Amino acid sequence: MMRNDDNPITLDLFADEPPTTSGQIERIGQQAFVLRGFALPWLERLLPALETVLQAAPFRQMVTPGGFTMSVALSSCGALGWTTDRSGYRYTAHDPQTGRPWPDMPALFRELAQAAARAAHFEHFEPDACLINRYVPGARMSLHQDKNERSLSAPIVSMSLGLPAMFQFGGFERSDKTLRVPLFHGDIVVWGGVDRLRYHGVLPLKDGRHPRFGAQRINMTFRTAG
Ligand code: SIN
Ligand code: FE2
């Protein structure tokens, strides 16, 4: 299921192939794993909690320090949430849009993130931030490193819901070759340790309709930020 940038033809042939591999674990780095379908058994309980979070902290499109409006809409829950504006990127305890603290991280989110971390050999994961990204067709996330977190010793746990996307997992320089990993509804990617600072991104979301989520992909990343 993994392919690299040298292979654009197979990319198009297989990008929308549904996962037949639920329960499978794919290693994409020394300490980086794709857990296929890991979130699926949790979803019936998880989605109502996600709705409650999004009512308290709705999706919004943020502006980067460079002045670009991100194509991905964001929200957060947990003690800390991630924001960006013209003055920079940061974690904050309050949602700048509502002036209130970010919604609490539902206990179930934390349990799922910890279970996924354990499956990827990271014990004692204590997430205090959950970033929620919404992609509509055409939305993308350019290659970046996750390095706003105070400590880099905890992994990133990243869950995909809705439409499939092509995740890029690169090296430690932006220009390094990237692995392309198709991510489907219910998949979780975990990277940490020696792989914690790898560049990663998401190619523009293709058109489509997911039976549950319609024309969108939701990504949730769990982090220890503070
Ligand atoms: C991110 O890097 O924050 C998002 C990754 C994803 O949407 O899969
Ligand atoms: Fe990221």
pLDDT at 29: 98
- Tell the residue nearest (CA) to atom 2 of ligand 1: 201
pLDDT digits (tens, 9 = 90+) for 77-119: 999 999 999 999 999 999 999 999 999 999 999 999 999 999 9
Say what the alpha-carbon torsion angle 17, 204, 106, 224 is, to the nearest 10 degrees.
110
Which pair of structure tokens corresponds to residue 42? 């949790």
How many angstroms does the Cα of residue 159 sit away from the middle of ligand 1? Answer: 9
- Tell the residue nearest (CA) to atom 3 of ligand 1: 221
pLDDT at 20: 66
Confidence of residue 21 (pLDDT cuts 50, 70, 90): confident
pLDDT at 13: 44
Q: Find the distance separating the first CA and the last CA of the chain, reported in whole Å.
A: 34
How many angstroms does the Cα of residue 118 sit away from the middle of ligand 1? Answer: 20
Atom number, ligand 1, closest to the C-alpha of residue 201: 2
pLDDT digits (tens, 9 = 90+) for 163-179: 999 999 999 999 999 99
* Average pLDDT, integer, range 116-129: 98
Which pair of structure tokens corresponds to residue 125? 């994961």
- Tell the residue nearest (CA) to atom 7 of ligand 1: 219
Say what the alpha-carbon torsion angle 209, 52, 151, 36 is, to the nearest 10 degrees.
-40
> Residues near ligand 1 with C-beta < 6 Å?
133, 141, 158, 167, 200, 202, 219, 221
Using the predicted structure, report yes or no on whether residue 152 has a pLDDT greater than 50: yes
Spans of all domains in the chain: 24-223
* Average pLDDT, integer, range 141-148: 96
Which CATH class for the 24-223 domain? mainly beta
| Mean pLDDT of all residues belonging to the chain | 92
